[in-house]
Chains A and B, each alone.
Chain A
Amino acid sequence: MNILIFSLILLAGAYVAGLLGSLTGLGGGVVVIPLLTLVFHVDIRYAIGAALLASIANSSGAASAYIKEGITNVRLGMFLEIATTLGAVGGALIAVFTPTNTIAILFGVVLIFSALMTVRKKHEHALQEGSRLSYVLKLNGSYPTPQGEVPYKLQNIGGGFSIMLLAGVLSGLLGIGSGALKVLAMDGAMKIPFKVSTTTSNFMIGVTAAASAVVYLQRGYIDPGIAFPVVLGVLGGAFTGARLLTVMNPKTLRYIFCVAISFVALEMIYNGLHHQF
């Protein structure tokens, strides 16, 4: 295989990954890692480098649209980024001492967890009473719905912050956005409306990924020949996905994709256990 053919196939694959990531809500970066390692037999470290770049592109592109709609809670995102960037730098540090097979196994586990998170029941709660800290930190807000502006308040800030720290570590270690964990922290612990959770999580992914990506770039994980087809492909796929989402509600599709991705995750775990990485 020459470089031209490899690049074109990878571009097409990354496009599909971006599309899948967008339709399932998992993010294209997550889907591109198994594609690179299992299909193209690329070392997982190069895959992580490229996936981080794809996550930044994806998150930044989508975030600009959500901010415009006024759904993203920018203060909350900023505050929680203390936790995620701290975690991400820590995770990128631990990564040096972690065997690649362990990383692959961990990746598989997180992928299955993320798939489960996207198909679970969503709560559109909006608390009327927030915790003391939510007032001190000015984290309460409101968001637009078809029925008008809905105010919401936050609780359990400490719990949410701790989960964000873990999300950051996993993001730095595995090279993914770990959007699912971020949503768990905001939706599950702090009881933020689901729409605000997902958009604010997406807003944070870019900064979190950048914090560890600068470490990975300096370590030589980012290969130009892999990076350009992956970034352009994932970005294109995500763009198509976002368009498709406005005209259809891919509920059934989401279930099918999440099951498929869980099988891929199992293969990552299996290969990791058999030291294939």
Chain B
Amino acid sequence: MKLIKTLTGDRDIALLVGQVLRTGVITASAIAFVGGVLYLAKHGADSLPDYSTFTGEGKEYTTFGGIFRGLTTFRPSAVIQFGALILLATPILRVFFSLIGFAVEKDRMYVVITLLVLGIILFSMFGGLKV
């Protein structure tokens, strides 16, 4: 009986995790698509920037603040970049949902393991690794 209970619990988490992943990808690609269409409508006829030399993106595309500011003025590139942000957030959100799942199951060992993974990702996000 106990075995069956843990199995169904696992299955529920798994399905929830699958749902998070699917929704995230669909949302992100829909936003990137809209941004792409806007971008082509506005800049389609412009000549191509020189992608063969790396200059890096400016603050408007590399920080939360910058992307959101661009979003409020409907700048096409910012919309695309927002889609990229959603895409990046999807697996991170997945880890977060796994954490909740393990906590509900009272699987302490896997709560710690999941927290560790989440910690590493958050460290790379905010740990000043920009260089």
Contacts and interface: CB of A to CB of B under 8 A. Distances in A.
Interface of A: 1-4, 6-7, 40-43, 45-46, 53, 56-57, 59-61, 63-65, 67-68, 70, 72, 74-75, 78-79, 81-82, 85-86, 88-89, 92-93, 96, 137-138, 206-207, 209-215, 217-229, 231-232, 235
Contacts of B32: 227-228, 231-232
Contacts of B91: 56, 59-60, 206-207, 209-210
B48 A1 contact: yes
B100 interface: no
Given A7-B44, A231-B83, 8 more contacts: A46-B51, A74-B10, A85-B120, A137-B109, A210-B121, A211-B121, A219-B130, A224-B77
> For chain B, which range describes its interface: under 10, 10 to 19, 20 to 34, or 35 or more residues?
35 or more
A10 to B, nearest CB: 10
B74 interface: no
30 contacts: A3-B43, A3-B44, A3-B47, A7-B40, A40-B51, A43-B52, A43-B54, A46-B51, A64-B18, A64-B21, A67-B15, A67-B17, A68-B15, A78-B95, A78-B110, A78-B117, A89-B120, A89-B124, A207-B92, A212-B124, A214-B125, A215-B129, A219-B62, A222-B61, A222-B84, A224-B76, A225-B39, A228-B32, A231-B28, A231-B84
Given A3-B48, A235-B29, A224 B14 contact: no
Interface string B68-82: 000000001110110
Contact of B51 (A59, A138, A223): A223
Q: Is the interface of A mostly helix, strand, loop or mixed?
A: helix
Contacts of B52: 41-43
A2 B22 contact: no
Interface of B: 10-11, 13-15, 17-19, 21-22, 24-25, 28-29, 32-33, 35-36, 39-40, 43-49, 51-58, 61-63, 76-78, 80-81, 83-85, 87-88, 90-92, 94-95, 98, 107, 109-110, 113-114, 116-117, 120-121, 123-125, 129-131
